[in-house]
Amino acid sequence: MTEDLKLTVVELNKLLETDYNLITFDSLSPESLLQVLVDVFHAFGALDKLDVREADPEETNALVMEALRKVQYRPAEDIDDPGAFRRGMVRGEKRLIHPILWWMFEHRERVKKAAYLARFLIPLDLPPEALAMPELGSLWAQYQETMNGFKEAHRAYEQSVHEGTQTRELRNDISAIETEIENVKKRIERTQGRLDKVPQQELLLEAANALRIEKERQKELLQQIDEQRQDLSRASLVHDRLQKELHNAKLSVQGATPRNLMDGLVEETQVLEFMVQQKLPQELQQRQSEVQTLQEVIDEPNITRADLQELQQRIDELTRDIQRMVEGRMADHSTQSDTLGPFRQQAAMVARNKEAAAEQLDQTTKELREVERQLQDRQRQLQDTVGEVILRGEELKQFVSTLRAKSNVYKQQRAELAAVKAEVSDLTQTLENLKSQDPSLSGALSQLAADEDGTVPGGKEDSASRAESPTGGGARGMTELARLVDGLQRAVGAARERVTPLSQQLRPLRERVIELKDEMDSKKQTYDALIATLNAESATMQSKITETERAIHKLEQEWQELQLEHERSQLLLEKANEELSAASAAGSGERVSLKETLSQQILEQEASLKRLTEEKASLQASKTDRAQQLQMWTDLRKLFEVKIRCLNESKHRGAGGTLSVSRGGAETFTLQ
């Protein structure tokens, strides 16, 4: 979003010759922002010059909508209410105008072309009564013919421009191909010339041909091997995925019975039936009503302020009538005894719950589809980026480490290259400054370079003169060098004298810049703190609003429960009154009233409770004795068990022998 805003500000400054920055542009008032949009439309030729402050808001809105239609702008997908979009444009909302400006600057050529064509191709808005006049009818037909002629001319122009571009491209391609053909012919001739000098040409050509064939075959085999490896990896991935799906399917089916599956299908069928028979028709009817309302709004002429006031008065009157009717209906229901009221409320509550569940199901289904679509897009992007081979485990770690090492080397070398470039630039600039200040320095430096390279022209006479007087040449070189050094020192001193006052003037400016920067940082910190505070306060207010809504909802539920309880009590009271009136009318001995029946039941319950309480008290009193008696019987049983076990052991052991008992009960004693 910030990058889009930067692009908008830069292009806006270029187009309108303004000096906005991000802060000033973002802090524009709605009226100023709308004026900027109108100026941009005027710059692109989609709108005449207009002052928003002096024009009527409705007229301005109509002109802006017309300009948007000319440049073929489409609002964002999240804006689905045309009325809200129009009202936002009238108010100059940033969330609507900023995207429009960014879109226009992003598609500059398209907008210019659309605005240009709209001047000639959008027909005039004439009423049918005017077209019925003969003169205007003939002029309208001529106007239509002229418009069609303009369309054909513009289409021919576009086609000619496109064909001209294609022709130039084809000519360039042909010239490049001809040049390449000439180069290939020359290379063939050179190769043929070298080949004619080689003995046994036929054998070498056959060997080269065989080598080429073998290399091509080897390349094909390697390509086939790579393809088979990729197929194998894809097959293994598909196999793993199918194995996981099979495992998940087994887990999901585990423990399932035909009854469970049938219940699930029945429940799903009921949900779909509800969606098809109730939910979707309601939504379709709602959409149709919205479309009809929007169509009526479109068909209506422009609404003035008087029309708005009249509509507002009618709305107020209808609201008051509805309020009176609701109050009368509530008064009628309050005087009558509605025994079906609780059931109606419960049915309404169930219907609301069903609608809420259907809405949640629909929203969840949409979110699931959106997530699946995003997942498919991400998988497709991943496949396009990395191909079929995906690094995992150690291979991925090794690749990352190698990439990190290469990145470090690249950064180091780039830093060294930048330092060398900066040093070369400084030295070059210094040399240029010295040459500009002392023109004789350039000739002297070139002379010294020529002397060092030994490129000074001369023949035998120069050599002889240098041989005769080597000392004189060296002295002249030293004198020239000393003169150059003195000149450089004077130039440096003069440059320092000129730079010193400039540096003194620059010092307070630098201090001022530092102060302004500090002030800007402090104000930015204050701004950020204020924004954070406002966000925190808004979050706190939102949480308070949520808690209040929850409390209101809870109170409404409690009120409904109390209302139901009150209605039940009212019903019981009415029934008791009816019983009382019936009993008083028919006599006291003929019929038992509801009160007497309930009193008798209460007495019986109290007697039963008293009897049970007494039994509980008696059981509590005899609990200790019963526990002692149980312990004594338990000890006696253990004693008898021990005696029986001892008797059996003595029988088996016997007096010097072994006693064995058979199945029939016969005892056999064996002496030892």
Cα 542 to Cα 539: distance, rounded to the nearest angstrom: 5
Tell how far CA 406 is from the center of its chain: 34
462, pLDDT greater than 50: no
Cα 517 to Cα 19: distance, rounded to the nearest angstrom: 19
| pLDDT (tens digit per residue) in 365-381 | 888 888 888 887 877 77
Tell me, what's the pLDDT at 472? 44
659, pLDDT greater than 60: no
Q: How many CA atoms lie within 13 A of 469 on its CB side?
A: 8
Tell me, what's the pLDDT at 481? 55
Query: Vertex 342, ends 341 and 348: CA angle to 5°?
Result: 90
Give the lowest-confidence range in 50-54, 411-415, 469-473, 637-641: 469-473
| Residue range 1-122, CATH number | 1.10.418.70
Tell me, what's the pLDDT at 594? 61
At 492, the pLDDT band (50, 70, 90 cuts) reads low
> Looking at residues 405-427, what average pLDDT do you find?
78
Q: Are 464 and 407 contacting, i.e. CB atoms less than 8 angstroms apart?
A: no
At 280, the pLDDT band (50, 70, 90 cuts) reads confident
| pLDDT (tens digit per residue) in 314-342 | 888 998 888 888 887 777 665 555 566 67
29, pLDDT greater than 70: yes
Tell me, what's the pLDDT at 506? 73
At 461, the pLDDT band (50, 70, 90 cuts) reads very low
Q: What share of the chain is helix, strand, coil (3-state, %, to 5)?
A: 85, 0, 15
Sequence-distant (6+) residues with CB within 8 A of 71 are: 41, 44, 46, 104, 111, 114, 115, 118
Dig out the tokens for 670 from the structure: 């064996």
| pLDDT (tens digit per residue) in 286-313 | 888 888 888 877 776 666 777 778 888 8
Query: Among residues 105, 75, 92, which one has the least CA distance to residue 9?
Result: 105
Q: φ and ψ at 661, to 5 degrees?
A: -115, 125
Tell me, what's the pLDDT at 201? 72
Dig out the tokens for 416 from the structure: 């060294």
Cα 264 to Cα 257: distance, rounded to the nearest angstrom: 11
> Looking at residues 56-83, what average pLDDT do you find?
78
Q: Are 420 and 427 contacting, i.e. CB atoms less than 8 angstroms apart?
A: no
Burial class of residue 202 in the structure, from the number of CB atoms within 10 Å of its CB (0-12 exposed, 13-18 middle, 19+ buried):
exposed
More reliable by pLDDT, 220 or 531: 220
Q: How many CA atoms lie within 13 A of 397 on its CB side?
A: 2
77, pLDDT greater than 50: yes
Q: How many CA atoms lie within 13 A of 4 on its CB side?
A: 12
> Looking at residues 570-591, what average pLDDT do you find?
69
Q: How far apart are the first and last CA of the chain?
A: 111
Tell me, what's the pLDDT at 455? 43
387, pLDDT greater than 60: no
| pLDDT (tens digit per residue) in 227-262 | 888 888 888 888 887 888 788 777 766 666 777 778
Mean pLDDT (the chain, rounded): 76
Tell me, what's the pLDDT at 473? 45
Tell me, what's the pLDDT at 460? 37
Tell me, what's the pLDDT at 476? 54
* Amino acid at the residue 427: L
Tell me, what's the pLDDT at 596? 73
Cα 672 to Cα 655: distance, rounded to the nearest angstrom: 10
Burial class of residue 636 in the structure, from the number of CB atoms within 10 Å of its CB (0-12 exposed, 13-18 middle, 19+ buried):
exposed
563, pLDDT greater than 60: yes
The percentage of residues in the chain with a pLDDT greater than 90, rounded to a whole number, is: 0
3-state SS, one letter per residue, for 442-470 = HHHHHHHHHHHHCCCCCCHHHHHHHHHCH
More reliable by pLDDT, 659 or 559: 559
| pLDDT (tens digit per residue) in 422-433 | 777 777 777 777
At 654, the pLDDT band (50, 70, 90 cuts) reads low
Which DSSP letter does residue 198 get?
A: S
Tell me, what's the pLDDT at 393? 57
> Looking at residues 436-450, what average pLDDT do you find?
63
Tell me, what's the pLDDT at 227? 87
Dig out the tokens for 625 from the structure: 């004795």
At 386, the pLDDT band (50, 70, 90 cuts) reads low
Tell me, what's the pLDDT at 479? 64
At 119, the pLDDT band (50, 70, 90 cuts) reads confident
Q: How, if at all, do strands 657-661 and 667-671 pair? A: antiparallel
Query: Among residues 171, 80, 188, 72, which one has the least CA distance to residue 122?
Result: 72
Cα 91 to Cα 102: distance, rounded to the nearest angstrom: 19
Alpha helices, H only, 197-257: 201-253
At 467, the pLDDT band (50, 70, 90 cuts) reads very low
Cα 521 to Cα 516: distance, rounded to the nearest angstrom: 8
Tell me, what's the pLDDT at 487? 66
Tell me, what's the pLDDT at 165? 72
Tell me, what's the pLDDT at 538? 77
At 450, the pLDDT band (50, 70, 90 cuts) reads low
Any idea which residue has 């009221």 for tokens? Answer: 341
pTM for this structure?
A: 0.29
Tell how far CA 54 is from the center of its chain: 41
> Looking at residues 17-22, what average pLDDT do you find?
81
Tell me, what's the pLDDT at 482? 61
| pLDDT (tens digit per residue) in 159-201 | 777 776 777 777 788 888 888 888 888 888 887 777 777 777 7
